[in-house]
């Protein structure tokens, strides 16, 4: 998403809305965990289709965790049940807080959660990826896994979101995101958690989409993702062929991993959500795709929401009245009209690896070697990550303890890995915090950083 992302008062803001205060649901939720099988997902012995929505009240401006505050999530869960969705995607979570009440309420409603493990202060920097792939960053990632692995309705973790963009230089960050992807699975296995799927959410960029997909599904089993997802805004109240979705089915046939749309919902011609009809059609898509997530639930500045939350005292107050907009009914109708198909949908029962993409003008990664996990992060595999830094910690992008190895590719941001912590570096890091992004299609405007406690001098390449 090269979209309008406004991060307000990251350096100066206090804690986000209050978390769980000790209240408990009257019943414990029981829900079947989602697993991968062949090129799709399963809920027990039943094929599972993603029929969901992106959920980040306040957008990037608020930088809050809706699952840590029952005053926010419980009202929205009522709307989710009315819509008939089964998955919400949350882009920003606070790994220092409890999510028990919200996660159990979602489970009671039969709703799963797909989580991004990054946030603006703890993420891979696409302009200088090597130093940002460090032990402090991985501690935050692992702490998020610790918090959410306990819930059976944690559907999946996204190791990154749109880190690779339409500029060729951004592909040089791919090895560091894939290394994070690898490390997350290693941590889940080492801590003896259930096998929660880990994968990448790619941008709506046609010129490197297939290279990115192949890259995250090549190499050893330890290196390959559990699934691949991408954001797509090409269906603009059109149809299967006009949108080019027929080509995207053809391109991903025999890909070998589960695939779904991590965002969809073009607003160009208004929205009737005809995408759902294709996504749920065994004759069109279910052999290859496993559904998708409509973007998005709350109305933000980018204009994609289907529910408006009345203003509170500031952007972090998302407890106001929920007002359904016309597209709420349209999405509800589409989900009801086009239910998940019965049977297996024609899925492939086996997985397979792809050949790694060769270097070319659009893909600058020269070899397939991944950076080694930073030495200081390896202790977490045995001892656990400990308490997470939350959304307002000191940040990780120049924290040091980076990987001792770099990756191939000219201009690949190899760096020594020692964090300078300089003002200019901090600003550049915040501006290029590509592991975290919220807001819809790629070509929607500049990345804006406002309300910082100190005005830094911006230097270095701007990757957005």
Token pair 């020594």 is found at 416
Contacts of residue 383, Cβ cutoff 8 Å, sequence gap at least 6:
none
Supply 415's token pair: 């760096």
Query: Helices H, strands E: what count in the chain?
Result: 12, 15
Question: What are residue 142's DSSP bridge partners?
Answer: none
Strand runs (DSSP E) across 169-249, as ranges? 198-202, 227-232
Active site residue 327: no
Supply 403's token pair: 């990987």
Helix 135-148 / helix 174-190 crossing angle, nearest 10 deg: 50
Using CA atoms, how far apart are residues 149 and 193, in angstroms rounded to an integer? Answer: 7
Closest CA to 345 of 386, 264, 286: 286
Supply 167's token pair: 């500029």
Using CA atoms, how far apart are residues 348 and 215, in angstroms rounded to an integer? Answer: 20
Supply 440's token pair: 């819809």
Token pair 């933000």 is found at 300
3-state class of 332 per DSSP? helix
- What is the DSSP track for 48-117? E-EEEEE--TTHHHH---GGG-HHHHHHHHHHHHHHT--EEEES---TTS--HHHHHHHHHTT-EEEEE-
Which member of 263, 296, 300, 327 is catalytic?
Answer: 263
Which member of 101, 104, 162, 223 is catalytic?
Answer: 162
Using CA atoms, how far apart are residues 294 and 297, in angstroms rounded to an integer? Answer: 8
For the CA atoms of the chain, what is the radius of gyration?
20
Contacts of residue 382, Cβ cutoff 8 Å, sequence gap at least 6:
190
For residues 232 and 247, is the Cβ–Cβ distance under 8 A? no
Active site residue 263: yes
Query: What amino acid positions are annotated as catalytic residues?
Result: 162, 263
């Amino acid at each position: 998403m090269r979209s309008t992302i406004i991060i307000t008062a990251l350096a100066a803001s206090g804690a986000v809305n209050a978390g769980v205060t000790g209240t408990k649901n009257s019943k414990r939720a029981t829900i079947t965990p989602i697993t991968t099988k062949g090129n799709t997902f399963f809920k027990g012995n039943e094929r599972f289709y993603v029929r969901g929505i992106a959920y980040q009240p306040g957008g990037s401006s608020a930088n809050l965790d809706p699952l840590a505050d029952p005053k926010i999530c419980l009202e929205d869960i009522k709307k989710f049940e009315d819509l008939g969705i089964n998955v919400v995607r949350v882009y920003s979570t606070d790994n220092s807080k409890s999510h028990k009440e919200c996660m159990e309420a979602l489970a009671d409603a039969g709703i799963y959660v797909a989580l991004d493990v990054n946030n603006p202060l703890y993420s891979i920097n696409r302009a200088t990826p090597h130093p940002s792939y460090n032990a402090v960053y991985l501690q935050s990632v692992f702490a998020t896994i610790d918090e959410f692995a306990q819930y059976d309705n944690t559907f999946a973790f996204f190791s990154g979101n749109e880190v690779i963009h339409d500029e060729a230089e951004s592909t040089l960050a791919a090895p560091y995101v894939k290394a994070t992807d690898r490390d997350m699975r290693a941590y889940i296995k080492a801590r003896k958690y259930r096998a929660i799927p880990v994968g990448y959410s790619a941008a709506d960029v046609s010129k490197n989409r297939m290279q990115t997909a192949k890259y995250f599904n090549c190499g050893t089993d330890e290196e390959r993702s559990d699934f691949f997802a991408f954001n797509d805004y090409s269906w603009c109240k059109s149809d299967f062929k006009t949108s080019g979705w027929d080509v995207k089915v053809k391109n991903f046939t025999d890909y070998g991993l589960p695939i779904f749309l991590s965002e969809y919902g073009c607003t160009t011609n208004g929205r009737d959500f005809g995408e759902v009809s294709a996504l749920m059609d065994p004759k069109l898509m279910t052999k290859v795709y496993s559904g998708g997530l409509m973007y998005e639930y709350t109305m933000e500045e980018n204009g994609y929401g289907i529910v408006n939350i009345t203003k509170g005292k500031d952007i972090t107050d998302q407890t106001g009245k929920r007002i359904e907009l016309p597209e709420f009914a349209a999405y509800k109708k589409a989900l009801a009209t086009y239910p998940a198909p019965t049977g297996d949908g024609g899925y492939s029962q086996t997985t397979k690896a792809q050949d790694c993409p060769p270097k070319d003008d659009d893909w600058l990664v020269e070899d397939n070697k991944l950076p080694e996990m930073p030495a200081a992060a390896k202790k977490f595999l045995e001892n656990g990550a400990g308490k997470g830094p939350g959304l307002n910690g000191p940040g990780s992008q120049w924290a040091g303890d980076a990987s001792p190895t770099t990756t191939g590719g000219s201009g690949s941001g190899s760096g020594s890995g020692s964090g300078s912590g300089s003002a200019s570096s901090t600003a550049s890091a915040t501006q290029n915090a590509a592991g975290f992004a919220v807001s819809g299609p790629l070509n929607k405007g500049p990345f804006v950083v406002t309300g910082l406690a100190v005005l830094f001098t911006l230097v270095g390449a701007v990757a957005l």
